[in-house]
Structure 1
Amino acid sequence: MALRMGVDYHLFWQLNPRRLQPFVKAYQEEQKAQLERANYAAWLSGIYVTHSIAASLGENARYPEKPIDLYETEEELESRKAREAELFSAYVDMFNKNFESRK
C-alpha cells in the first residue's frame, strides 16, 4: 500500500505510522480527485449521447458541429440564460393556449 501512495521503499522503513499519515491523506485526496474527474467525464459523455439521440430522433435537433464550450464567460452565461428564459416563456404561452382551447 505504501508504494501505491508514492512512498519509497527505503523511506517507508525510516517512517513510523504517524509520519506516514500525510502520505495516506494525500493518496486519499488524489483518489477522490480521480473519481471526480471520471464522474465529470462520464457526465460529459452523457451530454454528447443526449445530443446524438436528439439529433437522430428529433426533427429540429442537431448534433453540435464543434465541441461544447466547458467554460462560459459571464457575458455568454447571461446571454444563454436570457435565451433560455425566452424559450421557456414561449413554451408556457403555447401550453396555456393549448390548455385554454381545450376548455
Structure 2
Amino acid sequence: APSAAPAKDDPDGAKTAAIPAPDPQAPEAQASAGDDAKPKPQQASAASTGRILRTVTMRAGPKQKAAAMVTVPAKTSVQVISCKKWCQIVYNGKRGWVYKT
C-alpha cells in the first residue's frame, strides 16, 4: 500500500498524463522586438471577421501581378488571417490575398 495520501484531484493515487492548461498570450507579447509601430488588431494570431467594402479581386499571393482567384463582392463578410499592406483572407473556403485599401 502506498504510504503517501492521494492528492485532492487524484482520488485513487494513480499517475496520469497531465494536459497543460492553455496559456493565453497578451497582445503585447505578439509584437516582434523592435516593432515600435501602433498595434494592428488584424495581425493577431487568431483569425477575425472582416467586411469587404468594395468589390475586390482575391489573388493567389500578396502581389498585384499574382494570379487572380475570384472576385469578392462588396459588403461580404470574410475571415481575416493577417493584414498588413495585403490582407490574407478566407472567402468561400478559399484562402487568398486582397489589397488592404
Q: Could you say which TM-score interval applies, normalised by the shorter chain?
A: under 0.3
Q: Which has the larger radius of gyration?
A: 1
Going by fraction, where is helix more abundant, 1 or 2?
A: 1
Higher RCO structure, 1 or 2 (CA under 8 Å, sep 6+): 2
Going by fraction, where is strand more abundant, 1 or 2?
A: 2
